[in-house]
Amino acid sequence: MRALLLLAVSLSVPACAQAPQPGAAIIIRSDSKMFDSAPPVSDAVVKVLLATPSAKFALNYLSADERENAAKLFRAAEIHVRDPDEDDMIVSGRGWMNGADNDWFWIVRTPHTHPEVIFFDGGSTVELLNTRTNGYKDIRVFWSSAAESVEREFRFIRGKYRRSSQKSKPVDGD
């Protein structure tokens, strides 16, 4: 019964990023509409994404065509984790740039001038919170399976996002 409730709750999460409202966090999923109108990921951003540990591991499984056209393995959209006048980018992986049961998300700072990955995690949703640490929005990532649900929070410390907490709960079978 609880598994059905969890399924119902997960299906009720919007398929697109929520419009920012005062006091409301922004929830992002890999199928968010914000990715539909985004331009292709630049070569400079692809280069920094492929340098992350998870992407390096996934490179072992790419075909020659996928390696040559690696930008197609990513979808990106503009976000603001700092000042609204400073562009940041959230990137969602596709194909081999995903986990077996979760989506991979990166946040890239200054994507148009000097791209730098400041966040990576896998999950079902990424939530940009209204609370801040060192001027950057705090982040919550949610993931669930038939056996458990996990919620992780990240804060910006010493130049990148670092996990500040994690809560795991088993999904009861009743």
Instruction: Quote the pLDDT of residue 96.
Output: 87
Locate 120 and state its tokens.
């990576």
Please write the tens of the pLDDT for every residue from 111-151.
999 999 999 999 999 999 999 999 999 999 999 988 999 99
pTM score over 0.85? no
List of the chain residues with pLDDT < 50: 1-22
Q: What is the DSSP code (8-state) at residue 24?
A: -
Alpha-carbon distance 75 to 34, whole Å?
Answer: 10
State the pLDDT at residue 14: 38
CA atoms within 13 A on the CB side of 53: 4
Q: What per-residue confidence (pLDDT) applies to 9?
A: 38
The pair of structure tokens assigned to 39 is: 């331009």
Q: What is the pLDDT of residue 142?
A: 97
Distance between CA atoms of 174 and 165, rounded to whole angstroms?
Answer: 28
Q: Give residue 166's pLDDT.
A: 97
